Structure 1
């Protein structure tokens, strides 16, 4: 009897190991493509956000030395600061331009081809950065930074759409959340190689700014070996055989007919619709609540207070009596915490769903901001308060990474069908890049006037968003695009109008009732 139980246990263990191995092998192509898309997608965006701060002193010095060589006299400090500010902000201008062009170009020339052209732009930008010091031209830094912005404007638009289209329903949350994982990984890598011991020194800063070209080169060399998304091949190209071939390459052998049927339903619905431009998308009643959700989650991502947390972390660490040379490494710990929590989000999102991670994350972040406002206000009265503030900073970054950081991207991809997604992501790009610009302009003024009480503004935004998401966002986990659209139709048209639509049209044609 005992030997029989042991035999059954061993057999069960072998079966479990075989199942895990088979799952890994089955989706090996998908995992590889997710890595390739990530390394040249959201990774550069995160990298450029963090890396530009480290060589700032060296670049300002280089601008002045270049001017002296050309004209024989130094620049005024205010002029140097103005040129430096323009170098930083031109990245956002390039990003906005890339986002505006991306929707049209990806619709016409497909995402894969546009992403490969993006890599070429990034490589040209890297060359400008690498040889700027040798050529004694700070203008080359300006041009390189602008081209980096255009490239990341494209890649940040293409990456979430592409990665969402190549995954099956049961893994869609995981693959979508990897956009945030690679973004935070890029921020962390920028912090690491920006240290003065690596590439942050006065001699090596041009190579620090040029190092982003490595990720573009890797993606340019590997992406051609992967297919276009199955939905693109079936819906846009009408090639069912190519779609099946792409699915087998990405998802392995098996019965994927249900997924193909879902794509076919989307294609049938699209035959009676047209690809909407941005203004048409905004006016379309059948997409009204999708737009509300899109704007809320994207605006909250920008205004949740994460940038304020990073800003205050330096002050808190300094007040907590950390040695000056240790502060960059403690800040590196904050970046690592965000990266690890984003990875954790990718494992939780298909278990708990997008809605729970969003409103739950917003609520927890609200609680932390309330406590942090109190501890920062009282840190000069009680010596132990600043240590509590350090703990709260790490907690806030953790809740941000586990919740909104990964779930936001997944929701944005899933609530729009393929014909509406390019225009929707153009709106996302505008909110993102304009948000960065506005925050850069007004955030220092808010901090100067409100101090730690600036967190109350972000707290209010998070509280409003948590209530909105809890009340109005349908759970998208495990649902097809048409099922999600049906859920939103209940909000867009109301129960009475939905009953009329249901009686007169098949479900897959609901999207065409207003077009």
Structure 2
């Protein structure tokens, strides 16, 4: 029977996706634009308490903590999501999660009246928990809400080939599947998207963009992000996962390299400051095509449904931990080495692309058994003839909505 896209499924997918994407993307970028106002509030509050202003190092450390508390909350959320789902279910977890969002908004709103910048930091932790629960449960809810006919067919075929799959699923190929998830999610964050977000206002200012008008440039970046994510969703089933990942990381690496040169030489050649803005846009294009959306597709395709909870827990922990590291350390790195800090992210992108090229097989249109066979083949694990283990229909879940927003 031909599967049809039901209106209820469309509404479910949109509501779950919008909630997860909005909380994640908005709170990643929102802290950057008002950073001068927030730092001033921190300093004024500290002066009221102690009769003196903070030194630069203390203020930088406090600001780094503010930025990094969001991914720290995300890390906590990714670790407790399994417990919450077991107790309240997927839908219940998504509903209860609103408590974290509402509480965070209240704390942020009363922080100025209470003259307590600590409330801002705490609110960042809570909204991080909210974003992590939304990100993991929202995507899972979408995948598991697919048409029942497809799920019934898939379960029937898996039941027929269960023994062969279990025999093939040895530790050695599983090891590479787990490592691949870790590399993809770490590369997604260490590629530098949050650093570009943080540095964007500095780049805009150096290009002569009026700070009061920089919001429009930022809006343009967000539009580019949205458009390219949609493009990625359209072409991922045509071109495959590997080519989008490789081209995306390649674009990000090139943008970081050129951005470094532009920032270093703009004092000599002022026109290069505009090249910096172009590099930011180019980076967003590359990240939106591959590193941002595609890893979530690959992680779903390389592990069985029964193993996905554990895999997604590892995925979430790595994603948020590396996000936390970047948020905590980048402000200090930027102060210490300036434009050269983007060479670090260029190197990470190149190494991640090299790993994908050497280790991760194409998963488009392939069954789990075929993907597992490809991983094992790279590790020298002997399998039965490939034709004996390719009877199941391919499973290719839809590309999730973007996970990072500028």
- What is the aligned counterpart of 2:383 among 482, 488, 498? 498
In the alignment, the residues of structure 1 paired with residue 335 and residue 279 of structure 2 have an alpha-carbon distance, to the nearest angstrom, of 22
Q: How does 1:416-431 map to 2 (within 5 A)?
A: 416-431=303-318
Task: Tell me if 1:261 matches 2:169.
Answer: no
In the alignment, the residues of structure 2 paired with residue 296 and residue 134 of structure 1 have an alpha-carbon distance, to the nearest angstrom, of 44
Greater CA drift, 59-68 or 42-51? 59-68
Task: Tell me if 1:41 matches 2:20.
Answer: yes
User: Do the aligned partners of 1:300 and 1:465 also contact (CA within 8 Å) in 2?
Assistant: yes
Corresponding residue of 2:219: 332
In the alignment, the residues of structure 2 paired with residue 139 and residue 459 of structure 1 have an alpha-carbon distance, to the nearest angstrom, of 35
Describe the shift of the 1:322–1:423 C-alpha distance in structure 2 as closer, same or farther (beyond 3 A).
Answer: same
User: Do the aligned partners of 1:353 and 1:475 also contact (CA within 8 Å) in 2?
Assistant: yes
Q: How does 1:125-136 map to 2 (within 5 A)?
A: 125-133=104-112
Greater CA drift, 387-396 or 262-271? 262-271
Q: Which has the larger radius of gyration?
A: 1
Q: How does 1:133-144 map to 2 (within 5 A)?
A: 133=112, 138=117, 140-144=119-123
Aligned-pair distance for 1:139?
Answer: 5.0
Aligned residues: 387
Q: How does 1:169-248 map to 2 (within 5 A)?
A: 247=147
User: Do the aligned partners of 1:95 and 1:433 also contact (CA within 8 Å) in 2?
Assistant: yes
In the alignment, the residues of structure 2 paired with residue 118 and residue 299 of structure 1 have an alpha-carbon distance, to the nearest angstrom, of 25
**TM-score (norm. length: structure 1):** 0.65
Describe the shift of the 1:120–1:266 C-alpha distance in structure 2 as closer, same or farther (beyond 3 A).
Answer: farther
In the alignment, the residues of structure 2 paired with residue 452 and residue 137 of structure 1 have an alpha-carbon distance, to the nearest angstrom, of 34
Corresponding residue of 1:316: 203
- What is the aligned counterpart of 1:92 among 49, 56, 71? 71
Residue deviations 1:480-505 (CA, integer Å, cap 9, x gap): 444433433433552xx2129998x9
Task: Tell me if 1:402 matches 2:379.
Answer: no
Describe the shift of the 1:368–1:501 C-alpha distance in structure 2 as closer, same or farther (beyond 3 A).
Answer: closer
Aligned-pair distance for 1:326?
Answer: 2.2
Q: Which runs of 5+ in 2 are unaligned?
A: 393-406
Describe the shift of the 1:154–1:470 C-alpha distance in structure 2 as closer, same or farther (beyond 3 A).
Answer: same
Corresponding residue of 2:395: none
In the alignment, the residues of structure 1 paired with residue 93 and residue 190 of structure 2 have an alpha-carbon distance, to the nearest angstrom, of 30
User: Do the aligned partners of 1:411 and 1:476 also contact (CA within 8 Å) in 2?
Assistant: yes
**Cα RMSD between the aligned structures?**
3.6
Residue deviations 1:255-293 (CA, integer Å, cap 9, x gap): x46x5222334466779999xxxxxx9x94341111121
Corresponding residue of 1:293: 180
Describe the shift of the 1:130–1:456 C-alpha distance in structure 2 as closer, same or farther (beyond 3 A).
Answer: closer
In the alignment, the residues of structure 2 paired with residue 315 and residue 88 of structure 1 have an alpha-carbon distance, to the nearest angstrom, of 16
In the alignment, the residues of structure 1 paired with residue 42 and residue 338 of structure 2 have an alpha-carbon distance, to the nearest angstrom, of 33
Describe the shift of the 1:100–1:268 C-alpha distance in structure 2 as closer, same or farther (beyond 3 A).
Answer: farther
User: Do the aligned partners of 1:288 and 1:492 also contact (CA within 8 Å) in 2?
Assistant: no
Describe the shift of the 1:75–1:349 C-alpha distance in structure 2 as closer, same or farther (beyond 3 A).
Answer: farther
Residue deviations 1:155-176 (CA, integer Å, cap 9, x gap): 2222233323334xxxxxxxxx
Q: How does 1:346-495 map to 2 (within 5 A)?
A: 346-492=233-379, 494=381
User: Do the aligned partners of 1:266 and 1:482 also contact (CA within 8 Å) in 2?
Assistant: no
Corresponding residue of 2:29: 50
Describe the shift of the 1:464–1:445 C-alpha distance in structure 2 as closer, same or farther (beyond 3 A).
Answer: same
Corresponding residue of 2:398: none
Aligned-pair distance for 1:35?
Answer: 0.8
In the alignment, the residues of structure 2 paired with residue 55 and residue 91 of structure 1 have an alpha-carbon distance, to the nearest angstrom, of 16
Aligned-pair distance for 1:321?
Answer: 2.3
Aligned-pair distance for 1:81?
Answer: 6.7
Q: Which runs of 5+ in 1 are unaligned?
A: 1-21, 168-246, 249-255, 275-280, 509-515
Task: Tell me if 1:102 matches 2:81.
Answer: yes
Q: Choose between structure 1 and 2 for higher RCO, CA contacts under 8 A separated by at least 6 residues.
A: 2
